[in-house]
Amino acid sequence: MKNRIDLHVHSTASDGTLTPTQLVELATKYKLKAFALTDHDTTAGIDEALKAAAELNPQLEVIPGVELSTHAEGRDIHIVGLDIDKDSPAFQKHLKDFRNSREVRNKKMIQKLQEVHIDISDEVLLDMFGDTVITRAHIAKYLHQKGYVRNIWEAFPRYIGDGAPCFVPRGKIAPRDAIRMIQEANGVAVLAHPLRYEFTSSELEDFVSKLAGEELDAIEAIYSMNGPGDEQDMKLLAKRYDLKLSGGSDFHGMTKPNIRLGFGRGNIDIPYAIWRELRMS
Ligand code: AMP
Ligand code: MN
Ligand code: MN
Ligand code: MN
């Protein structure tokens, strides 16, 4: 219990609803030993989290991280980077390219939404959310607040979910680009939530084997949305390709209200030893 950690967490720097300081407070309340802040395409929340931990709970290890969206096999594949040297100029330059590709994608999605007579623009999103990395979760919130959908989840199948009418995929950055960029910043590269990509099990195995050949360090075997047996399956898959294990809740605060920091849906318990092993990569 005392050893519990969480290696996949979002703050208000992307689409989470808690500030980095509030995350530190919650991690303290839940007695976590460490958590990684892994916002989408940004490290903007990390300094605040490190500062809050130093002031409020020096025992708590805050691991600088990031979650990068890449494209492979016709899918949006997420790679988490852990313990990155976030101040590396090369790393920040690459991150900026990721955010630019996101902004280009967002503009195209906004245009498609306008074409179906939705009153939306860059400016109204900036007004509502401020200067943060705008994701589809933000667009869903906007559509809900303006009454276009009954709840934020409805926005995905109707408008902006993968394959929905106003969805636009990201530019084609490959997982190996993200892996390289993370490792060049001395970080550990993890395939996030391997079971969320709708691969068949043999397709997933082929894909993981390919990423293992591209120097992937680990797969996120322990994950909030896992069903019975999934964690064990992913652990065996990792073993077959000599990959390490990671684990995280993918906590987003009220964006994903059924997921609790460090505990997921009550189905995860990630010991500190997972991080110790991973860091040896
Ligand atoms: P983006 O990075 O802009 O593609 O947005 C991805 C984010 O949108 C995810 O991290 C989730 O927070 C949210 N999201 C994507 N698909 C769904 C879905 N079907 N239901 C609820 N949230 C989703
Ligand atoms: Mn998200
Ligand atoms: Mn993800
Ligand atoms: Mn995530």
State in Å: Cα 251 to ligand 2 middle: 9
CA 68–ligand 3 middle distance (angstroms) = 8
Say how far apart CA 208 and CA 49 lie, in whole Å: 32
Ligand closest to CA 141: 1
Ligand nearest to the CA of 8: 4
Whole-angstrom distance, CA of residue 115 vs CA of residue 245: 44
Q: Which ligand neighbours the alpha carbon of 14 most closely?
A: 2
Residue found under tokens 């992913």: 234
| Torsion sign (Cα): 146, 253, 218, 196 | negative
Put residue 199 in one of left, alpha, beta given phi > 0 → left and psi -120 to 50 → alpha.
Answer: beta
CA atoms of 173 and 176, how far apart (whole Å): 8
Q: Which of 41, 135, 252, 255 to mutate to test the pocket of ligand 1 (most atoms within 8 A of CB)?
A: 135
For residue 242, which of 269, 275, 213 has the smallest C-alpha distance? Answer: 213
For each of the chain's 281 residues, which pLDDT tens digit applies? 579 999 999 999 999 999 999 999 999 999 999 999 999 999 999 999 999 999 999 999 999 999 999 999 989 999 999 999 999 999 999 999 989 999 999 999 999 999 999 999 999 999 999 989 999 999 999 999 999 999 999 999 999 998 899 999 887 789 999 999 999 999 999 999 999 999 999 999 999 999 999 999 999 999 999 999 999 999 999 999 999 999 999 999 999 999 999 999 999 999 999 999 999 87
Residue type, 275: W
pLDDT of residue 172: 79
Question: From the CA of 106, how far away is ligand 1's center (Å)?
Answer: 13
Residue of 68, 136, 162, 167 to mutate, ligand 1, most atoms within 8 A of C-beta: 136
pLDDT given for residue 1 in this prediction: 53
C-alpha 137 to ligand 1 mean position (Å): 5
CA of 90 to the centre of ligand 1 (A): 28
Tokens 């559509």 correspond to 143
Ligand 4 centre distance from Cα of residue 255 (Å): 11
Which residue owns the Cα nearest ligand 1 atom 20? 153
Which residues' Cβ are closer than 6 Å to ligand 1? 15, 40, 69, 135-137, 153, 156, 161, 252, 255
Q: What is the DSSP letter of 148?
A: S
pTM over 0.85: yes
Residue nearest (by alpha carbon) to ligand 1 atom 18: 156
